[in-house]
Amino acid sequence: MIKEPLEKILFMDVETVGCSPSYEALKESNPILAEQFNSYGDQFKRKFVEDKDKSVDEIFQNRSGLTPEFAKIVCVSFAFIVNGEVRVQSFSGDDEKEILLGVRDIMDRVNPKGYVLCGHNVKGFDIPMLEKRMIINGIAIPSILPSYDTKPWEMKVIDTKDVWACGAWGTIGSLELICASLGIESPKNTGVKGDEVHSTYWSGGKIEMITEYCEKDTVTLVEIVMKLKDLK
Protein backbone atom coordinates (compact mmCIF):
# COMPACT_ATOMS: atom_id res chain seq x y z
CA MET A 1 0.00 0.00 0.00
CA ILE A 2 2.90 2.34 0.75
CA LYS A 3 5.69 2.25 -1.82
CA GLU A 4 8.21 4.62 -0.25
CA PRO A 5 11.15 2.97 1.58
CA LEU A 6 10.89 3.28 5.36
CA GLU A 7 14.32 4.93 5.43
CA LYS A 8 12.97 7.78 3.28
CA ILE A 9 9.95 8.64 5.43
CA LEU A 10 9.97 11.45 8.00
CA PHE A 11 7.18 10.69 10.47
CA MET A 12 5.76 13.71 12.28
CA ASP A 13 3.20 14.94 14.77
CA VAL A 14 2.32 18.44 16.00
CA GLU A 15 0.86 19.44 19.37
CA THR A 16 -0.84 22.79 19.81
CA VAL A 17 -2.57 24.87 22.46
CA GLY A 18 -4.56 28.08 22.33
CA CYS A 19 -2.36 31.16 22.01
CA SER A 20 -3.58 32.34 25.44
CA PRO A 21 -4.77 30.40 28.49
CA SER A 22 -8.30 31.83 28.13
CA TYR A 23 -10.42 34.11 26.01
CA GLU A 24 -10.32 36.77 28.74
CA ALA A 25 -6.51 36.62 28.73
CA LEU A 26 -6.51 37.01 24.93
CA LYS A 27 -8.78 40.06 25.22
CA GLU A 28 -6.13 41.68 27.40
CA SER A 29 -3.07 40.68 25.35
CA ASN A 30 -4.52 40.97 21.84
CA PRO A 31 -8.03 42.51 21.77
CA ILE A 32 -8.17 42.61 17.96
CA LEU A 33 -7.49 38.87 17.69
CA ALA A 34 -9.98 38.19 20.50
CA GLU A 35 -12.63 40.12 18.59
CA GLN A 36 -11.92 37.96 15.54
CA PHE A 37 -12.31 34.77 17.60
CA ASN A 38 -15.62 35.98 18.99
CA SER A 39 -16.86 36.77 15.48
CA TYR A 40 -16.34 33.12 14.52
CA GLY A 41 -18.28 31.84 17.56
CA ASP A 42 -21.33 30.73 15.57
CA GLN A 43 -19.13 28.92 13.06
CA PHE A 44 -17.43 26.98 15.85
CA LYS A 45 -20.83 26.05 17.30
CA ARG A 46 -22.03 24.77 13.93
CA LYS A 47 -18.88 22.72 13.41
CA PHE A 48 -18.80 21.35 16.96
CA VAL A 49 -22.43 20.78 17.94
CA GLU A 50 -21.39 19.73 21.44
CA ASP A 51 -20.28 23.34 22.00
CA LYS A 52 -23.59 24.96 21.08
CA ASP A 53 -24.45 25.89 24.67
CA LYS A 54 -20.92 26.75 25.80
CA SER A 55 -19.52 30.18 26.54
CA VAL A 56 -16.98 31.88 24.30
CA ASP A 57 -14.27 31.17 26.89
CA GLU A 58 -15.12 27.44 26.97
CA ILE A 59 -15.07 27.31 23.18
CA PHE A 60 -11.73 29.11 23.14
CA GLN A 61 -10.17 26.62 25.53
CA ASN A 62 -11.60 23.68 23.57
CA ARG A 63 -11.03 24.81 19.99
CA SER A 64 -8.44 27.58 19.71
CA GLY A 65 -5.59 25.06 19.53
CA LEU A 66 -7.20 23.53 16.44
CA THR A 67 -7.23 26.80 14.51
CA PRO A 68 -3.86 28.16 13.32
CA GLU A 69 -4.82 31.81 13.69
CA PHE A 70 -5.62 31.32 17.40
CA ALA A 71 -3.15 28.54 18.23
CA LYS A 72 0.40 28.13 19.41
CA ILE A 73 2.64 25.19 18.56
CA VAL A 74 4.30 23.77 21.67
CA CYS A 75 5.79 20.55 20.29
CA VAL A 76 6.72 18.95 16.97
CA SER A 77 8.12 15.42 17.03
CA PHE A 78 9.82 13.57 14.20
CA ALA A 79 10.68 9.90 13.85
CA PHE A 80 12.91 8.36 11.21
CA ILE A 81 14.51 5.00 10.65
CA VAL A 82 18.29 4.61 10.51
CA ASN A 83 19.85 1.15 10.10
CA GLY A 84 16.58 -0.45 11.13
CA GLU A 85 16.26 1.59 14.34
CA VAL A 86 13.60 4.19 15.07
CA ARG A 87 15.04 7.52 16.17
CA VAL A 88 12.99 10.38 17.55
CA GLN A 89 13.73 14.09 17.64
CA SER A 90 11.45 16.70 19.18
CA PHE A 91 11.30 20.47 19.27
CA SER A 92 9.23 21.71 22.21
CA GLY A 93 8.92 24.52 24.71
CA ASP A 94 7.39 27.95 25.18
CA ASP A 95 9.18 29.69 22.29
CA GLU A 96 7.12 28.85 19.22
CA LYS A 97 9.47 30.59 16.80
CA GLU A 98 12.43 28.57 18.06
CA ILE A 99 10.41 25.36 17.60
CA LEU A 100 9.48 26.32 14.04
CA LEU A 101 13.06 27.20 13.13
CA GLY A 102 14.12 23.74 14.32
CA VAL A 103 11.36 22.19 12.24
CA ARG A 104 12.41 24.12 9.15
CA ASP A 105 16.04 23.09 9.64
CA ILE A 106 15.28 19.36 9.76
CA MET A 107 12.88 19.61 6.81
CA ASP A 108 15.44 21.51 4.75
CA ARG A 109 18.04 18.83 5.53
CA VAL A 110 15.89 15.83 4.53
CA ASN A 111 14.29 17.35 1.43
CA PRO A 112 17.36 16.99 -0.87
CA LYS A 113 17.68 13.38 0.29
CA GLY A 114 14.31 12.44 -1.17
CA TYR A 115 12.30 12.10 2.04
CA VAL A 116 8.51 12.26 2.21
CA LEU A 117 6.49 13.40 5.22
CA CYS A 118 4.10 11.08 7.03
CA GLY A 119 1.42 11.87 9.60
CA HIS A 120 -2.19 11.14 10.50
CA ASN A 121 -4.49 13.79 9.03
CA VAL A 122 -1.26 15.61 8.26
CA LYS A 123 -2.81 17.25 5.18
CA GLY A 124 -5.83 18.48 7.11
CA PHE A 125 -4.13 19.64 10.29
CA ASP A 126 -0.35 19.40 10.82
CA ILE A 127 0.79 20.87 7.50
CA PRO A 128 -1.58 23.88 7.36
CA MET A 129 -0.91 24.48 11.06
CA LEU A 130 2.86 24.52 10.51
CA GLU A 131 2.65 26.68 7.40
CA LYS A 132 0.33 29.31 8.88
CA ARG A 133 2.26 29.50 12.15
CA MET A 134 5.50 29.90 10.19
CA ILE A 135 4.00 32.73 8.16
CA ILE A 136 2.68 34.42 11.32
CA ASN A 137 6.14 34.10 12.90
CA GLY A 138 7.87 35.53 9.81
CA ILE A 139 9.53 32.24 8.80
CA ALA A 140 9.91 31.06 5.21
CA ILE A 141 8.11 27.78 4.56
CA PRO A 142 10.46 24.85 3.74
CA SER A 143 10.11 23.59 0.18
CA ILE A 144 9.21 20.03 1.26
CA LEU A 145 5.83 21.36 2.44
CA PRO A 146 3.13 21.76 -0.21
CA SER A 147 2.05 25.25 -1.20
CA TYR A 148 -1.27 26.54 -2.51
CA ASP A 149 -0.35 25.58 -6.08
CA THR A 150 1.20 22.15 -5.40
CA LYS A 151 -0.59 19.53 -7.47
CA PRO A 152 -1.88 16.49 -5.53
CA TRP A 153 0.52 14.11 -7.30
CA GLU A 154 3.45 16.39 -6.47
CA MET A 155 2.90 16.35 -2.69
CA LYS A 156 5.68 14.65 -0.73
CA VAL A 157 3.22 13.45 1.87
CA ILE A 158 1.82 10.16 3.15
CA ASP A 159 -1.36 10.77 5.14
CA THR A 160 -2.30 7.61 7.05
CA LYS A 161 -5.88 8.86 7.25
CA ASP A 162 -6.03 8.80 3.44
CA VAL A 163 -4.23 5.45 3.28
CA TRP A 164 -6.72 3.89 5.70
CA ALA A 165 -9.67 5.29 3.73
CA CYS A 166 -8.65 3.02 0.82
CA GLY A 167 -10.06 5.49 -1.69
CA ALA A 168 -13.39 6.05 0.06
CA TRP A 169 -14.57 9.55 0.94
CA GLY A 170 -15.86 10.59 4.36
CA THR A 171 -14.99 7.33 6.13
CA ILE A 172 -14.11 7.10 9.83
CA GLY A 173 -10.43 6.61 10.55
CA SER A 174 -9.02 8.05 13.75
CA LEU A 175 -5.54 7.05 14.86
CA GLU A 176 -7.13 5.16 17.77
CA LEU A 177 -9.41 3.20 15.44
CA ILE A 178 -6.52 2.22 13.17
CA CYS A 179 -4.49 1.08 16.19
CA ALA A 180 -7.40 -0.97 17.51
CA SER A 181 -7.96 -2.55 14.10
CA LEU A 182 -4.29 -3.45 13.61
CA GLY A 183 -3.60 -4.59 17.18
CA ILE A 184 -1.29 -1.68 17.98
CA GLU A 185 -1.35 -0.02 21.40
CA SER A 186 -2.87 3.43 21.06
CA PRO A 187 -0.79 6.37 22.33
CA LYS A 188 -4.10 7.84 23.52
CA ASN A 189 -4.30 5.23 26.26
CA THR A 190 -1.44 6.69 28.27
CA GLY A 191 -0.44 10.12 29.59
CA VAL A 192 -2.00 13.32 28.22
CA LYS A 193 -4.96 13.06 25.83
CA GLY A 194 -5.38 15.38 22.88
CA ASP A 195 -8.19 17.41 24.42
CA GLU A 196 -6.12 17.91 27.58
CA VAL A 197 -3.05 19.47 25.96
CA HIS A 198 -4.30 23.06 26.29
CA SER A 199 -5.14 22.77 29.98
CA THR A 200 -2.01 20.72 30.72
CA TYR A 201 0.21 23.36 29.15
CA TRP A 202 -1.43 26.46 30.59
CA SER A 203 -1.94 24.99 34.06
CA GLY A 204 1.76 24.61 34.68
CA GLY A 205 3.73 24.30 31.46
CA LYS A 206 4.11 20.53 31.75
CA ILE A 207 5.92 20.45 28.44
CA GLU A 208 7.68 17.15 29.19
CA MET A 209 4.32 15.34 29.40
CA ILE A 210 3.15 16.92 26.14
CA THR A 211 6.43 16.05 24.40
CA GLU A 212 6.18 12.44 25.55
CA TYR A 213 2.61 12.27 24.22
CA CYS A 214 3.68 13.78 20.88
CA GLU A 215 6.58 11.34 20.54
CA LYS A 216 4.30 8.37 21.25
CA ASP A 217 1.98 9.50 18.46
CA THR A 218 4.93 9.70 16.09
CA VAL A 219 6.32 6.26 16.98
CA THR A 220 2.81 4.82 16.56
CA LEU A 221 2.80 6.14 13.00
CA VAL A 222 5.97 4.15 12.37
CA GLU A 223 4.29 0.99 13.70
CA ILE A 224 1.24 1.53 11.50
CA VAL A 225 3.29 2.08 8.35
CA MET A 226 5.47 -0.95 9.14
CA LYS A 227 2.30 -3.10 9.39
CA LEU A 228 1.06 -1.78 6.06
CA LYS A 229 4.49 -2.32 4.45
CA ASP A 230 4.53 -5.95 5.63
CA LEU A 231 1.37 -6.87 3.75
CA LYS A 232 2.00 -9.80 1.40
With 0.75 as the threshold, say if the pTM is over it: yes
Per-residue pLDDT tens for 86-109? 999 999 999 999 999 999 999 999
Question: Is residue 189 predicted with pLDDT exceeding 70?
Answer: no
Lowest mean pLDDT among 19-33, 61-75, 119-133, 185-199: 185-199
- In sequence order, the 6+-apart residues with CB closer than 8 A to the CB of 194 are 188
In this prediction, residue 232 carries a pLDDT of 63
Which domains does the chain show, CATH number per domain?
A: 6-229 (3.30.420.10)
- DSSP letter at 167 equals T
Q: The sheet that has 9-18: what strands, in order across it? A: 85-92, 71-82, 9-18, 116-119, 157-159
Amino acid (1-letter code) at residue 4: E
Question: Is residue 190 predicted with pLDDT exceeding 70?
Answer: no
In this prediction, residue 52 carries a pLDDT of 86
Q: At what angle do helices 127-136 and 96-110 cross, to 10 degrees?
A: 120
Question: Is residue 225 predicted with pLDDT exceeding 90?
Answer: yes
Question: Is residue 230 predicted with pLDDT exceeding 90?
Answer: no
Classify the C-alpha dihedral 88-92-97-98 as positive or negative. negative
